[in-house]
Amino acid sequence: MLRYEIVLMIKHPTTDLAVITEKTGLSPLRHWRHGEPRVTPKGTPLPSTHESSAWICRFEYEGNKAFFPSVNSLIVELERNREFLIGLVDDGGEVYLNVNLDGRANIGD
């Protein structure tokens, strides 16, 4: 079965992560705050703290070779929060959108 995922990551030096959830209406898969101890995804402690806050949301898709419509749909959805996201970036934040494709399959899109 063909699978891919789209990951939205928002990083900011100090922002309140609850505001990102409230504004976007999306629930994060993972998040951490500036200054919190770092841990691996499985919870193993690492020897430092986070330098910025981060909020990560993942969308998983199956069975469809065309991933551009999914990306486009997410961008249209995020467009509702354009001013909020621009404000985060203007205040030192970063917004990433990453498409992870299954390298074992010919996506063709």
pLDDT tens for 81-94 read: 999 999 999 999 99
The answer to pTM > 0.75 is yes
Average pLDDT over residues 66-86: 91
| Total Cβ atoms within 10 A of residue 13 | 12
Q: Which two tokens stand for residue 62?
A: 């199956």
CA-CA distance, 32 to 10, in Å (whole number)?
11
